[in-house]
């Protein structure tokens, strides 16, 4: 992104990783004065994704999770990378019911790409 600011964090996969990711995302959001709704959405995404990488990717083994947050006046891009064994979301059972917090209508667009 042209004219953007990039932040990066490298975490050790483990019990504290999701909390560390949450704190880091919220600090960056506050630093750049992002709206509360964006901050909360980024925080939720960071916590859930990092926890899933630790629990289902690394499965308690040592590993590294890299977070990148790139901000511009028109766009926010949040990327996570890891070296855990690949997860194929098409093989996972569908969720029984989405939580109400995920059903809220929002102006933000979220795009997830799972790949190597």
Q: Domains in the chain and their CATH numbers?
A: 5-103 (3.30.565.10)
**Rounded mean pLDDT, 7-30:** 96
Mean pLDDT of the chain, nearest integer: 84
Name which residue leads in pLDDT, 52 or 116: 52
Element (H, E) at 78: strand 76-82
**How much is the pLDDT for 97?**
72
Name which residue leads in pLDDT, 103 or 34: 34
pTM value is 0.77
- The percent of residues in the chain predicted with pLDDT above 70, rounded, is 81
Alpha carbon distance 64, 6 (integer Å): 19
Backbone angles phi, psi at 99, to 5 degrees: -65, 150
Q: Which residues of 81-94 are buried (b: 16+ CB within 10 A; e: fewer)?
A: ebebeeeeeeeeee
């Amino acid at each position: 992104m042209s004219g953007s600011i990039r932040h990066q964090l490298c975490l050790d996969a483990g019990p504290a990783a999701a909390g560390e990711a949450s704190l880091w995302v919220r600090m960056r959001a506050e630093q750049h004065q992002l709206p509360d709704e964006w901050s909360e959405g980024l925080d939720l995404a960071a916590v859930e994704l990092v926890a899933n990488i630790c629990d289902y990717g690394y499965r308690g083994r040592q590993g590294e999770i890299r977070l990148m947050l790139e901000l511009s006046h028109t766009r926010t891009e949040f990327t996570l990378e890891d070296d855990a064994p690949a997860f194929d979301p098409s093989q996972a059972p569908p969720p029984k019911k989405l939580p109400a917090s995920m059903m809220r209508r929002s102006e933000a667009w979220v795009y997830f790409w799972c790949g190597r």
